[in-house]
Every structure is written in C-alpha cells, then in structure tokens.
Amino acid sequence: MTTSTTQTSQIMETLGAQAKVAAQQLAQASTGQKNNALLKIREYLLSNKADILAANAIDMEAGEQNNLSPALLDRLALDESRIEAMAEGLSQIAKLPDPVGSINDMNTMPSGIQVGKMRVPIGVIGIIYESRPNVTIDAAALCLKSANACILRGGKEAMHSNKAIAKAISHGLQQAGLSPYCVQVIETTDRAMVTEMIQAEQFVDVIIPRGGKNLIAAISRDAKVPVIKHLDGICHVYIDDQADHDKAIAIAVNAKCRRFGICGSMETLLIHEAIASELLPELAKQYQQAGVELRGCDKTQVIISAVAATEEDWQTEYLGPILSIRVVTDIEQAMAHIAKYGSHHTDSIVTENYSRIQAFLRAVDSSSVMVNASTQFADGFEYGLGAEIGISTNKLHVRGPVGLEGLTTEKYIVLGDGTIRA
Amino acid sequence: MTTSTTQTSQIMETLGAQAKVAAQQLAQASTGQKNNALLKIREYLLSNKADILAANAIDMEAGEQNNLSPALLDRLALDESRIEAMAEGLSQIAKLPDPVGSINDMNTMPSGIQVGKMRVPIGVIGIIYESRPNVTIDAAALCLKSANACILRGGKEAMHSNKAIAKAISHGLQQAGLSPYCVQVIETTDRAMVTEMIQAEQFVDVIIPRGGKNLIAAISRDAKVPVIKHLDGICHVYIDDQADHDKAIAIAVNAKCRRFGICGSMETLLIHEAIASELLPELAKQYQQAGVELRGCDKTQVIISAVAATEEDWQTEYLGPILSIRVVTDIEQAMAHIAKYGSHHTDSIVTENYSRIQAFLRAVDSSSVMVNASTQFADGFEYGLGAEIGISTNKLHVRGPVGLEGLTTEKYIVLGDGTIRA
C-alpha cells in the first residue's frame, strides 16, 4: 500500500491532533487509572494469545517469502512465552512508582514566594522501531505510565502482529476509561509517514527511534522534532597499572564476553604498559576460549598473538566476538584515546588509585563512566530504573539508560499568598 | 565585510575545533580557577573602561548614521555605570556555587554496583544575540562558571564594543591559566556565520539565541544543533470566584503594570463571571491610571469600558500597555483558554480553593505555573538561580528560567569493586 504525500500529511494531522487531546487527558489521569489500563492490556493479551499468534503467522509467512534474514525472522517471531514476557513487562511497569506529579526542591525565596519543580509528562512521543512486535507493548506501557500520549510506527514486516497488539492496547485503555488515542499505532506502511512524523513539530514533542544505526542516523538527520537517540556504543575498559589483577581480568572478560551483541559490551581494551605483559597472556587465553578474535596495536602484538589493529578498528562497534587492544603509556593516553574514538556511551577504569579514579570520573565524557565495574552494567534495570526505553547518547535532557523519569520533564511551580513583585 | 561560504565554514571549523579542545580543559578546571578568571575579567573591565567606551562610541556613531531606532541605540549604548553593572555581574557569578561535579542519587543496586549521577558541563555552547554588548559578558561568565566553552555571535552594530569586551575576557582567562579559546567572540559580521554555527553539530552542543522573536524563530527553523529557546510569553492570570479580592487585585495589577516589556508580564486576564462585575470596575480604574488600554470580550464590555477583543488579541504578546480581558464561566474554561492561546511560559491562578489549585497546577502546561502570585516573578533571580541566561519555553532539558544548572547535564557514574554482570 502506498499513499500520496497529501494523504500521509492528512493522516499525520489526524493522528497528531488526536494525540494532543489524549495527552491532555492522560496528564490528569490518576496513577490507579493508568495502572488499571496496563493490567487490562495484560489481561487482553493473555486471553487473546491465539489471535496475536495468528496475526504473527501472517507476518512470518510474508517475511519468509520476502527472504528476511534468519536474525530478522527471529526478532519478528512471537510464541506463547514471548507474549507472556510482554504481559510480565506490563505487570512490572504497573508496579513502578508514578513519576508524574512529584514536587522537588521547593524553597521559599526572599520575596515570600515558594518555588519548586513538578515532574510532568512531556506530551506526545513518537516511537519509530523495526521488526520486534514486543516494542509495541513496551513503548506503549512506558509512555502510558509516564502519562505521555504516543504514536507508534513499527516495521512494515510486523504490521499484522502490531495491529493485533494494538487491539489489546486500545481495549485496555477503554476499559480504564482512557481515550484510545493515548496510544496510536500507525497502520500506513508508507515510509513517507516516518518523514511526516519526525517533522510534525506542532504535534510531536519528542521522537525516540529504536533500531539499527542507519535508521537512527537517517531520522536524526531529517527530524525537526527533538530526537532522544542512541547511535553507537564503542565502550572501553582501561586497566591501569595500579589495578587489582583479579578484578581487572574478571571485568575485562565480562565486559567483552558476557554478551557480544549489546551496546554496553567492550569493543576496545586499553591497558597500561607496565602491567600489559603480566595480564595480557591470561586475558588472551580467556578470550580465545570464548572465541574472541583479538586485534592489537604494535606493543600488544609483541606480547600476545593478535591481528594488527587498524585505525578503523578503534572506530568500530563490532557487536560481535572481536576485540581491539591498545597498550597505553598512562591514564592520560587512555583518556585521550577514549575522547578521540569513543562514542560517549560507557567507559570503565580498573584501578585502586584514588586520584586516577577522580580524574577518570571527571574527565571522561560518556553517558556512563564506571570504576572497577563491567561496562555490561549499562542498562536501565541494573541502574534501578525498573524499565528502559533505550539508552541515550544525547547530551541534553537525558543521558544513558532512559526510564520513566527520562520520559518526563519538570515545570516550575510558584506558590504565593497574594504576592506581588517589588 | 563579507566572506564567502567556504571562508565562513573554514572560520567555523577553526573556532569549533578550538572550542572543543578548550571545553575539555575547562571541564577539568577547579572552581577557584574559574572564579579567578571571572574576577580578572572584572578587574580588566574596570581598569579599561576608557577603551571600551571609545569602542562603543564608534558603534554608536555608526548606529546613528545607519538610523538605528532610539530603542536600539539605547540597548547598544555603554556608559560607566553599565560597565560597572557588568563588573558587578561577574562578582555575583563568581560567588555562586559551582554546579559542576555534584553527585546525586547515589544508590547501591542488588548487583553491588553503586549508581549515581554527576553534574557535568554540556561542552560547547553557541550564543547568538543582538545589540546589547553586556550580553557578551553575561553569557561568557555563565558559560565559564558552568565550565562550557562558548562561541559568541553578537550583533553587527555592536562589533567594536564586543571586540573591546572580548579583550577583557581573553585577558582574564589567560591570567587564570585558562585557554583563551574558552570564550571566542566571532568577529565576522557575515550572516552566513550564524547559519554555519547553528548547523555545526560536530562542534557545538547547544545554541542559545537571545533576541527578538523573529531571530529566534529563524534560528530554530534552520538549526541542526539543539536550541534552548524562548519564543514568546503570552502569560495569563485567572481570577477564580473563590479568590481573595484584595490579593486578586494586587496580583492582576502587578502582573500587568510593574513592567510592560518583560516576557513574564500578563497579556490576558481571565476572570470568573461570578466575580467579574465586582472586581473589574476597580481593576479598570487602576489600569486606566497606569495608562493600560483594555480590550475585552462581550461580557467584559458590559461591565467596563473596553475595546472589543478580537481572536488576534488572545494570541498576541503585547509587551506594552495593552491588556485583553475575558470573562469565563469556570476554571475549566480558563484552563482551556490557556491551553489554546498560551505560549507555555507563565500562568497564574488566584483562588483560595484547594481543589482548583491542585487542578490548575497539574493541568496547565507552562514552564511556570503560579498560585496567588504575580506572573512577573518568572525570573532566574527571583527563583533563586542567582543568574539567568534566559527563559526556556522548550519542553526538554530545561524549562523556565535557565541558570547555571540549565547549562549543565548529568552523566551516570557507576562504582564497583571488580563487579561483573551475571
């Protein structure tokens, strides 16, 4: 199905205007009402598994006919346990504290006014994602709990699955007395809809893309609406010469090998030259056991067997079983390497030296800066956020794992008693 | 002087690269070092008043020859007391607490890691402003204290004044052992430089425009870099039928008449129909004494003498001695009016009714929502921020008066003890 530009912009106008009205209503909804909606969606999902699986089967069949890759088909596939996982996610988000309405930093000023900040929803959030149908539920649930109306644009290949899930969401919203326009799933598969949405400043307050780097880069380039984005995770561990050896090995192995394909996995190991010949052989052994290919600088290659690392290696997010290793002369060179090649995602220092920890914490400009911990901890659940819509490598508004609070903003509230300004 | 596009983009590359290096250095500077720079700038300003006034005289003469309006010439003009006011601003900013490095919300997670947030500078800030030369000092001082490198682009008509002030800044930075590239004043008067700067994503982290609505709208439209902006301030006071009469009159008069030309001044008064005939005559009397022209809805015109308000009036930021008045049936109609015509700047309710206060605080989507207080309080100094670079009507990152904290961001810090993720 294709639609003309006029049609897509009319669709966006309609969706946008409906979302704005729904957002005003949702901002006033009680915590109980929002939680009730989440639980009603959960119920409907569980009692309509068959319909959702049937819709998913249509997408899967089309995907196979269109020769989607096995990895893509796996992301697209639903089964009973994946539907149950979605339902469990809804329960968990219902249990989280409501971020909306909290009042912070209330102080009385010399004039007599009391000034504080109230946490409020952002408004309308546009979410653009690829093939995973479970994102439809996750994103809807997080937006609903944070009282934002959302417009969801999933992948074309998941359209039938998303429509079936949308039915559950719309049912739950209505059962809880909320407008079905609080969550709208775009059913037009036309790419032009994405362009419309990311430029619809009058309706959409923020865009959150979830997917591959190309999708996100294209959206960021063309968006007029602010984008909370995560481009890449070129994460480093720096092992200082004053590191505890056992901790260093445990962290360097875990940071790479626990999971290769997540954005918080280490892509480059930096190691102080005074400790390199002692630690690298043991590390190389463990990496070899885990099937990790090593690419090293000249000094690394003297100590262990490794392919020569190129300039490109330092700039690459492998997301797989490859690790680049560089021997550095000191913490300054390590930090300079991170500043030059890092992606401001997550970087860790392993050392027992107090002053170097302070320097690293202060100077490294990443969304998460770690000390004696594995970079694989970069995750909303591990940070206690309870849920996560993604990891932001933006500098403004929200940085690092984005939970419910990242989906809200603050406004000033001022309480007087007939107070006027002199 | 005009420059080619190639030249302007080369100038931007140079300025941008210098700013990025300076920003890294500045992020590590101690509070003492930053304060010292501020005080050295102050000293130099005071002991070189004559040079600055001479430079300003050149701008003033050119301005008169170019037939600048008296208002513009007044903004451009410097004298001894204005230079002393700039110096005083520098002392005040030096005295403010350093926002950089504070660590908040540090908690231990089940895995054993401690997770918290550290406040850090944003990086490089571009500031675009019009004729007031004092903005050069204010903006530089706020960026310096918050450890951001900045690139300043003032108005063409103030170029000689700004150059003379830039000399003081550069002198102070060097005296304090900081790179002169921490604050760079663009000396190219070509408009194309503005376009270059607002699109230089690789160098500039945020743009803050200060000036008229047209300047800000144009910058927002064309920017690729995020913009912290303030478009307009269409502020409302709603007088409820359960308002205390004396408080209501004091607030409605102060909100309009204290100063007409500031963004926090009331442009539309909304008043409950049950109280309108009692309060409007007294209010009209006081507005008349202050020289305020009244424009009212049909019901208003029955009670007091007022010009008929048009649809356009509700959408206008007068910034002058004009007030539109609308009689409403209840708080819902008042809030609907604010939602439709307001600019999300500052809106106030006057009432003694608890439930209506709660509803207003929660539902009105403005950067400042006030209760029984004059909208003219919308100001960084009144809110205890100590200084202000502007008022943001953005929803993300920072909303309302922007002080030092608004010029910073937070990163996660994670402390482990050889901790790995299971």
The 3-class secondary structure across B309-346, one letter per residue, is CCHHHHCCCCCCCEEEEEEECCHHHHHHHHHHHCCCCE
What is the largest distance, in Å, between two alpha-carbon atoms of chain A? Answer: 77
Residues 6+ apart with CB under 8 A from B265: B233, B235, B255, B256, B258, B259, B319, B375, B376
Q: CA of A5 to nearest chain B CA: how many angstroms apart?
A: 21
pLDDT digits (tens, 9 = 90+) for A241-264: 999 999 999 999 999 999 999 999
CB atoms within 10 A of CB A305: 11
Element (DSSP H or E) covering residue A326: strand A322-328
CATH number 3.40.309.10 given to B235-377? yes
- B15, two tokens: 């300025």
Q: Do domains B5-229+402-414 and B235-377 have the same CATH topology?
A: no
Q: At what angle do helices B159-175 and B49-65 cross, to 10 degrees?
A: 160
Which residue of B lies nearest to A111 if distances are taken between CA atoms?
B382
Q: Do A372 and B401 touch (CB under 8 A)?
A: no
* Chain B residues within an 8 Å CB radius of A101: 362
Minimum distance, in Å, between the CA of residue B304 and any CA atom of chain A: 24
pLDDT of residue A325: 98
Token pair of B74, please?
């007044």
Compute the residue count for chain B. Answer: 422
Mutant choice from A395, A399, A415 vs B, greatest count of B C-beta within 10 A: A395
**Single-letter residue type at A170:** S
Amino acid B4: pLDDT: 67
Complex ipTM > 0.90: yes
Low-confidence ranges of chain A (pLDDT < 50): 1
Residues in chain B, pLDDT under 70? 1-4
What does the pLDDT read at residue A4?
67
Q: How many residues does chain A have?
A: 422
Is B416 close to A384, i.e. CB distance below 8 A?
Answer: no
Give the pair of three-digit tokens for residue A151: 């417009």
- For chain A, domain boundaries: 5-229+402-414, 235-377
Do B16 and B124 contact (CB within 8 A), yes or no? yes
Protein fold of B5-229+402-414: Aldehyde Dehydrogenase; Chain A, domain 1 (3.40.605)
Inter-chain touch A370–B247, beta carbons under 8 Å:
no
**Which residue type sits at B81?**
S
Question: B186: alpha, beta or left, given left = phi > 0 and alpha = psi -120 to 50?
Answer: beta
What's the Cα-to-Cα distance from B57 to each of B70, B77, B82, B107, rounded to whole Å? 15, 8, 14, 58
A-B Cβ pairs (cutoff 8 Å, strict): 223
Q: How far apart are CA A182 and CA B88, in angstroms?
A: 51
- Per the CB < 8 A criterion, the answer to whether B417 and B112 are in contact is yes
DSSP class of A227: B
For B231-250, the pLDDT digits (tens) are: 889 999 999 999 999 999 99
pLDDT score recorded for residue B244: 98
Q: Do B409 and A395 touch (CB under 8 A)?
A: yes
**Residue A212 pLDDT:** 85
CA–CA distance, B193 with A374 (Å, rounded to integer): 44
Judged by CB atoms closer than 8 Å, whether chains meet at B374 and A416 is answered as: yes
Instruction: Tell me what pLDDT residue A7 has.
Output: 87
- Measured between CA atoms, the residue of chain B closest to residue A374 is B420
Count the neighbouring beta carbons within 10 Å of the beta carbon of residue B25. Answer: 15
pLDDT of residue B1: 45
To the nearest whole Å, the CA of B357 is away from the closest chain A CA by: 10
Cα–Cα distance measured from residue A68 to residue B14, given in angstroms and rounded to the nearest whole number: 46
Q: Which structure tokens are listed for A348?
A: 């860790």
Tokens of B239: 């007088």
**Record: contact A362-B28, CB cut-off 8 A:** yes
Distances (CA, A) of B44 to A232, B87, B167, B186: 46, 9, 9, 20
C-alpha–C-alpha distance, residues A155 and A297, integer Å: 41
Contacts of B125 in chain A (CB under 8 A): none
B390-392 and A408-419 strand pairing: unpaired
Half-sphere exposure of B55 (CA within 13 A, CB side): 20
Query: Which residues on A lie below 8 Å from B113 (Cβ)?
Result: 373, 377, 382
Residue B301 CB: number of other CB atoms within 10 A?
17
